[in-house]
A and B are shown apart, each in its own frame.
Chain A
Amino acid sequence: EPEVTQTPSHQVTQMGQEVILRCVPISNHLYFYWYRQILGQKVEFLVSFYNNEISEKSEIFDDQFSVERPDGSNFTLKIRSTKLEDSAMYFCASLRDISYEQYFGPGTRLTVT
């Protein structure tokens, strides 16, 4: 069964550093998403991406965040200058069509020190 993959599984970085989280969505999916889950809290929407552009973003997704689908397979989330409060589990998800369910990757645990 096809699945969403994410790398790395765990990333440790120092405050102020740039990080790139990578995702490979399911190949015939058209919609792509990033969510995050701070430890002990609910899963929160960050951004959705369709037709090579951002379709919606939350207030969390400020100028420090960006997304890209550079080569038609990878979908990346970049945090330009990480803060302590960016420490969380980041989930990538993809969706084939609006009447279907989103498939989630296993997540990348980001720890900012």
Chain B
Amino acid sequence: AQSVAQPEDQVNVAEGNPLTVKCTYSVSGNPYLFWYVQYPNRGLQFLLKYITGDNLVKGSYGFEAEFNKSQTSFHLKKPSALVSDSALYFCAVSLKAAGNKLTFGGGTRVLVKP
């Protein structure tokens, strides 16, 4: 079985400060890892993914994430947060063998204050 944990329900950060959203996962096999963002009354928008290769992946809107196999983590980061980054962020994991169904974490609400 695969699972994802996002330990923080909410992260508050001042505009211009670094932003980190934590994610840990549990799978049997090599994971595909994803971050999605959800704005109010909108669908899920893809931010970035780790499939294979370089552990540091860069995605949309200046976000990046680091795959850490030993800690089974895939934390999302942004060096300088914007007020417009305020949204709900979901980490997700899939396995090729499982038909790529996504298992999501509970989500972390990010609030960036001016």
Contact = CB atoms under 8 A, between A and B. Distances in A.
A68 B73 CA distance: 36
Contacts, number: 57
Q: Which 5 pairs from chain A and chain B are nearest by CB?
A: A104-B44, A106-B43, A43-B104, A104-B43, A45-B101
A48 interface: yes
Interface stretch (A13-21, A69-77, A78-86, A95-103): A95-103
Given A43-B90, A91-B44, A102 B96 contact: no
Interface residues of B, number: 23
A28 B103 CA distance: 24
Interface of B: 32, 34, 36, 42-46, 49, 51, 90, 92, 96, 98-107
Interface of A: 4, 31, 33, 35, 41-45, 48, 50, 55-56, 91, 93, 95, 98-99, 101-107
Nearest to B6: A42
Nearest to B4: A42
Contacts of B43: 4, 91, 104-107
Nearest to B42: A106
Given A91-B43, A101-B46, A106-B42, A42 B102 contact: no
A35 B100 CA distance: 13
18 contacts: A31-B100, A42-B90, A42-B104, A42-B105, A42-B106, A43-B44, A43-B92, A45-B102, A56-B99, A91-B43, A93-B102, A99-B51, A101-B46, A102-B100, A104-B44, A104-B45, A106-B42, A107-B43
